[in-house]
Chains A and B, each alone.
Chain A
Amino acid sequence: ELKVEQNPLFLSMQEGKNYTIYCNYSTTSDRLYWYRQDPGKSLESLFVLLSNGAVKQEGRLMASLDTKARLSTLHITAAVHDLSATYFCAPKGNFNKFYFGSGTKLNVKP
């Protein structure tokens, strides 16, 4: 079964700073999603990465995928308080099933 490891699990950062969340997974996967979850709310899809070297950017968030290293990153540029949330990566495993990491709880302090 595909195992997913995200780190860090908790991230507290100041506004204006940059940081990267890492998502490692154990077996080959041909696509990976990043989701955002606000407290008490559901998960919202941010990015889908479909191939090795794929890079997607939206606002201050940029996601990338290295399928050979089985690694995806979510880079935050010049963080703002509105980005405070929990972020999940989810690579696709067999039988169209997605496996979720433990999530990274991001707190951006003003």
Chain B
Amino acid sequence: KAGVTQTPRYLIKTRGQQVTLSCSPISGHRSVSWYQQTPGQGLQFLFEYFSETQRNKGNFPGRFSGRQFSNSRSEMNVSTLELGDSALYLCASSSGGGGDGYTFGSGTRLTVV
């Protein structure tokens, strides 16, 4: 069965721009979580969407937002990009119930210049 698909794989943006990342979860999975990974801060939780509703949220500024569509695909948006937003953004899907673990996508490598 198809895994978690993230697009694009690589992205270069300029400070002040905005960016949208996409994640298609495993078929049948209703939960999508987003993480930011940087060498200095490790894996940090951004938010989780379940059935089109944000269910959990991490401690990121409002420039980071997301949404989930009825087919469970999710998008993450970062506005007014800063150099510190350069990171690997990972999407993880799960069925959403009972605490079953994540299956991660390959990630989107965002570089802000």
Residues of A within 8 A of B (CB): 30-31, 33, 35, 41-45, 48, 88, 90, 92, 95-103
Contacts and interface: CB of A to CB of B under 8 A. Distances in A.
25 contacts: A30-B99, A31-B101, A35-B104, A41-B106, A42-B90, A42-B104, A42-B105, A42-B106, A43-B90, A43-B104, A90-B101, A92-B99, A95-B55, A96-B31, A96-B48, A96-B99, A97-B48, A97-B56, A98-B33, A98-B101, A98-B102, A99-B45, A100-B45, A101-B42, A103-B42
Contact of B43 (A44, A96, A100): A100
Interface of B: 31, 33, 35, 42-43, 45, 48, 55-56, 90, 92, 94, 96-99, 101-107
A23 to B, nearest CB: 14
A39 to B, nearest CB: 11
Contacts of A95: 55-56
Contacts of A96: 31, 48, 55-56, 94, 96-99
Contact of A100 (B42, B98, B99, B103): B42
Nearest to B45: A97
Contacts of A103: 42-43
Contact of A31 (B35, B99, B106): B99
Nearest to B98: A96
Contacts of B101: 31, 33, 45, 48, 90, 98
Nearest to B97: A96
B1 to A, nearest CB: 15
B27 to A, nearest CB: 18
B58 to A, nearest CB: 9
A97 B31 CA distance: 11
A45 B103 contact: yes
A102 B103 contact: no
Name which of A35, A42, A44 has the most chain B CB atoms within 10 A of its CB: A42
The 4 closest A-B pairs by CB, nearest first: A100-B43, A43-B104, A42-B104, A33-B101
